[in-house]
Amino acid sequence: MPPHQENISDPKKLRALSHPLRWKLIDLLQIEGTATATRCAELTGESVASCSYHLNMLAKYGFVEPAPSEGREKPWRLPAQEFGWSKMDLDDEGRLAAEAASDALIDHEMAEYRAAIRRKDREPEQWQRVTGSMSGLVYLTPEEATRLKNEFGALLDRYHNRVADSALRPEGARPVRTFASFWLTSNDSPRS
């Protein structure tokens, strides 16, 4: 886990991530930088009251924070601290909460991916050629899997500063969503 990433182990905090709208709001704030509940409602199709409620729940557990404001509207932003979680070393309640958060995240990512596939043919040709997915099966040791995961993370880290600082984005840059997952197949047992 990168040093700038918090490892969540509190079951209440993990359960706060188990609602699908909360993942939409987190994504929206990544892209927009700051947004009010009204703006979130416009972009998600949810009500202002629902967006406000879920933003406040995310804020309660530190996933969003108030952004500086000069008007009556209350904008929100993501804190600088990133987060992740693992079921390792959690008690039963924590493992169930981590599973619920993981399920919500995976459902959100796959819904976003399906929507992107549906609209892909309406994107400019150069974007159609470079977006898509890769899938494969490889045989790795735990050490090799760790190295591969770290190498993939390092590739993404080269562009990560552009999320928070729009001045670093080259002309023509658009938000490109990535989702990587490493898992053992269910039909393979450990070999000696």
Write down the pLDDT at residue 191: 55
Write down the pLDDT at residue 189: 59
Write down the pLDDT at residue 134: 84
What distance in Å separates the CA atoms of residue 11 and residue 16, rounded to the nearest whole number? 9
Is residue 42 within 8 A of residue 19, CB to CB? The reply is: no
- Please give the model's pTM, rounded to 2 decimal places: 0.84
- Residues linked to residue 6 through DSSP beta bridges, in sequence order: 83
* Topology, domain 5-133: Arc Repressor Mutant, subunit A (1.10.10)
Spans in the chain with pLDDT lower than 70: 1-4, 187-192
What distance in Å separates the CA atoms of residue 152 and residue 150, rounded to the nearest whole number? 5
Write down the pLDDT at residue 143: 96
What distance in Å separates the CA atoms of residue 124 and residue 43, rounded to the nearest whole number? 22
What distance in Å separates the CA atoms of residue 150 and residue 2, rounded to the nearest whole number? 9
What distance in Å separates the CA atoms of residue 54 and residue 57, rounded to the nearest whole number? 5
Write down the pLDDT at residue 35: 96
Tokens representing 185? 């197949």
